A and B are shown apart, each in its own frame.
Chain A
Amino acid sequence: MTPLLDVADLAVHFPVFRGPLRRKAGTVRAVDGVSLQVFRGETLALVGESGCGKSTLARAVLRLQEPSAGQLRFEGQDLLRLDRRAMKAARRRMRMVFQDPHASLNPRLRAGEIVGEAFDIHGCTRRERDAGVAELLTLVGLGPEHAARFPHEFSGGQRQRIGIARALALHPSLVVCDEPVSALDVSVQAQIVNLLMELQERLGLSYLFISHDLHLVEFIADRVAVMYLGRIVETAPIQSLYAAPLHPYTQALLAASPSIDPDRRHQHVVPDGEVPSPLSPPSGCAFHPRCPFAIANCRAEMPPLLTLAPGHDVRCWRAGEWAAAPQRAAIPVGS
């Protein structure tokens, strides 16, 4: 099965200029050689700390940010080679739901105009647009009567519903959700997540779901990709990632998120120190300065993405050991 979205070795580098002469002082490798696939109808969650390049990757996928290198295939087309007209056509099929519903809606446009903009751009008649707007607003749990209101007349959750309705106009196949609920109240978060899942089922959508909330990811995702410092360190189906995380970073992330299930309480392998600067990433495995299990080889060489089980890839030299010994308690933890 060909994936709906196929990202191959994608890189987004930002040159950094310093000093009065604006000399190039280095390069921030926000996204550095990321490969991932999103299949039809599935949800791929992308998790990682803030600053690891999740959002940059999402923006690059939608070409809000031009990638520096790599390939981007969507529905079989090479997105980076499309001319303007073909790109406009492709934009009908891929959309984004933004993090902050207060910033992502133009305060000067009415809800109906915001949701209906896509219809205007892609050559629909007025009548088609009005019908589409009414349908979409109903679909996301609002009503057609809300079309005449301005964004400031809605609550945060309602605004995010408008953002979702805008993203669903004209039946896209891929929706990139960039932390769609992290700016909302907890009580509203659940409603929006349920709405997203319900819409996925009804419309056969695929989600690239960016989040730092592991509980949420476990609830919504089919597969998870863990990102650290611009690279994917582990990709796995949801069950195997939560049952047996293989990369020490994933283990640390899972350990850091509190659980009410006593069986699921992992030993604390909280990495000390800060995320290294992406301006000068560490040699070898980028995680080695914070990794309690680092060996000499980790400092010297970047591990490749190893496939240890079907669909379960890990970027760790010692992943073989972890896979062989699933009981993590046996491994000494420096605490």
Chain B
Amino acid sequence: MDTPIVPEAVAEASIAVPLRPPGLWRQGWYRFRRNRGGMLGLGLVALVVLVALLCPFVAPFAPNDQSAMLRGAARKAPDWVHLLGTDRNGYDVLTRVLYGASTALAVGLGAMAVASVIGVIIGGIAGYAGGLTDELLMRFAEFFMVIPVFVVILAVVRLFGIVVVGTWLESIPNLNLMTIIVLLGCFEWPPIARMARAEFLRLKHAEFVEAAICIGTKKRDILLRHILPNALPSLIVLVALGIGGAILAETMVSFLGFGDPKAVSWGQQLHFNYEALKVAPWAVLSPGAAIFVTVLGFNLLADGLTDAFNPRLRR
């Protein structure tokens, strides 16, 4: 049985707070909070996340509702029923824009998750092992940096779409989108690997790592318990920046018509409506603005994080 003793809890809280100086994350948050651009970015990203989570409840229509077409109301200007109008396929633009947020986030987060895993593993091994391993892995990373991602994605999406026909893979929903996510991840990792390498190289000679070796700590613990957590702040900045980049890349692929036809994507809306830019500009401008806001949000967030976690870089 534990009865809460209020006076003691209050006393402890009032003493403990000033006694505890802020940790690394909290210090970063203090600096971040004072960064106007970073806070704006955080706000925009929060908005996008909120929209992605709430779109089934807020959206006025179903994402695949084309009934406006039957009523002859395609390319209709905004009114009280269709707040942002309808596009040439009879979709409600607002609904599609709201649903597009979850696709964009899935692409950004998914691609960067793949890129982070590959990048941290390759960069970490390169930085920690050093020597020839380092040299080979970094040349490998540079090889990936010079390949034009775009051409590869277009080719693979097309070829893969043909190859899977008739196999069990065809039953996976949004297979094309997942292919794009994985491919983006497979080409976005070199910057993360470079940063991870630099951090592992710096940290493997840190005194606390040597102290751990002295005690007899296993290599796995040295890497996962001592080095990786201290490398995270620098990596998170790159990941935030990469999310924006991945969203933009998926948009471009979709805009060219190579995206996932089953997914609701801003790029695809542009693809279907850019020809009617003069007739029904609302069908293009809204998804365009959504892309702009999302990518801007992630870039500002990354900028703010850089200033917060590497304060010495400024000035």
Contact = CB atoms under 8 A, between A and B. Distances in A.
A121 B213 CA distance: 11
B21 A98 contact: no
B216 A92 contact: yes
Interface stretch (B41-49, B181-189, B203-211, B246-254): B203-211
A307 B180 CA distance: 76
Nearest to A65: B210
Contact size class for A? 20 to 34
Given A103-B206, A108-B229, A95 B21 contact: no
A103 B208 contact: yes
B226 to A, nearest CB: 5
Contacts of B213: 64
Main secondary structure of the interface of B (DSSP, over half): helix
B23 interface: yes
Interface residues of B, number: 23
B24 interface: yes
B230 interface: yes
Contacts of B218: 121
A128 interface: no
Contact of A103 (B207, B212, B216, B221): B207
B214 interface: yes
9 contacts: A96-B210, A99-B207, A105-B208, A106-B208, A106-B230, A107-B230, A117-B217, A166-B215, A167-B214
A49 interface: no
Interface string A84-123: 0001100110111011100111111100000001100110
Contacts, number: 69
B25 to A, nearest CB: 10
B208 to A, nearest CB: 4
B20 interface: yes
A107 B24 contact: yes
B230 A108 contact: yes
A121 B24 CA distance: 27
A129 to B, nearest CB: 13
Interface of A: 59, 62, 64, 87-88, 91-92, 94-96, 98-100, 103-109, 117-118, 121-122, 149-150, 152-153, 163, 166-167, 169
Contacts of A98: 207, 210-211
Contacts of B211: 96, 98, 104-105, 163, 166
B13 to A, nearest CB: 15
Contact of A88 (B21, B22, B216, B230): B216
A169 B206 CA distance: 21
Contacts of A150: 23
Interface centre among A99, A105, A117, by most B CB within 10 Å?
A117
Given A98-B210, A103-B208, A121 B215 contact: yes
Interface string B3-31: 00000000000000001111110000000
B210 A64 contact: yes
Interface string B189-206: 000000000000000001
B230 A64 contact: no
Interface string B212-251: 1111111001000110011000000000000000000000
A187 B228 CA distance: 36
B214 A96 contact: yes
Given A105-B208, A152-B21, A152-B23, A95 B217 contact: no
B21 A122 contact: no
B212 A117 contact: yes
Nearest to A105: B208
Contacts of B208: 103-106
Contacts of A153: 19-21
Contacts of A166: 211, 215
Given A103-B206, A107-B24, A121 B214 contact: no
A106 B215 CA distance: 14
